[in-house]
Amino acid sequence: MCPIFIEPQNQTGDSEFFLLGLSDDPELQPLLFGLFLSMYLVIMLGNLLMILAVISDSHLHTPMYFFLSNLSLTDISFSTTTVPKMLVNLQTHSKSITYAGCLTQVTFFSLFGCLDSLLLAVLAYDRLVAICQPLHYLVIMSPRLCAIFGGVPLSGILFSYYRIVSSILRIPSSGSKYKAFSTCGSHLSVVCLFYGTGLGVYLSSAVSSSPRKDAVASVMYTVITPMLNPFIYSLRNRDIKSALWRMVQRIG
């Protein structure tokens, strides 16, 4: 994966880079190929099902599910910028990538990474409005806001959850507090997974100089997170599970 695994000292006269990869053991290459192919197929299937469920069910045509479907589309694009190239390299036992290919990969990797971060911020704001101002939810989360929303993603997430926690702490009933916190559980899990693995990559690079450890940490960030996101949301969400079941029944 070009953005993470480059060995710049091996650049050739043909403007190519050589990628570090996860292992130099030839016997491990088929195992790694099968593992990452399976994970990529899970990413595609899980996120496509999430998108189809939202599109096909009119009950899910709300701001939250609109953003969730866009998050799934971004996760598919995010992993597609790196995983297919890695699979090709594992299959052909090649570690080279052209300068133009590397530049293209880095550009789209950065773009979809930023979009992921932005959508997580928007979802945090969506939960803020749903908990703190539920009666005005449909007015505040208007289609116009859902289309031209911007800002600094991480700051938006932190501000939203500061307001959410402050509001929940003022609720007298412990049952109501639990219900309010549970509505944020899926989003908070995805935020921790996305930023936690990303932060882990940079911290491991600062503490340890091992390229192999950096490569493994980067796999968590670019493959594991997009693969788990649809399961985190679907397994904790009755609306999504109901929409998927109705879709399966229509197909059957």
Concatenate the DSSP letters of all residues of 116-146 into one string. HHHHHHHHHHHHHHHHH-GGGHHHHS-HHHH
Instruction: Tally the domains of the chain.
Output: 1
CATH code, domain with 205? 1.20.1070.10
Within a domain: 16: no
Within a domain: 95: yes
Strand partners, 7: 18
Within a domain: 2: no
Q: Express each pLDDT in 39-81 by its tens digit.
A: 899 999 988 988 888 888 888 888 888 888 888 888 888 888 8
Q: Express each pLDDT in 115-125 by its tens digit.
A: 787 888 888 88
Instruction: Identify the pLDDT of residue 127.
Output: 82
For residue 185, give its domain range. Answer: 29-251
Within a domain: 91: yes
Identity of residue 3:
P
Within a domain: 207: yes
CA distances from 185 to 92, 179, 188, 251 (A): 42, 10, 5, 31
Give the count of beta carbons closer than 10 Å to the beta carbon of residue 118: 21
Note the pTM of the prediction, 2 decimals.
0.69
Residue 133's φ and ψ, nearest 5 degrees, are: -140, 65
Within a domain: 212: yes
Within a domain: 57: yes
Within a domain: 246: yes
Instruction: Return the DSSP state at 127.
Output: H
Residue for token pair 């009119």: 58
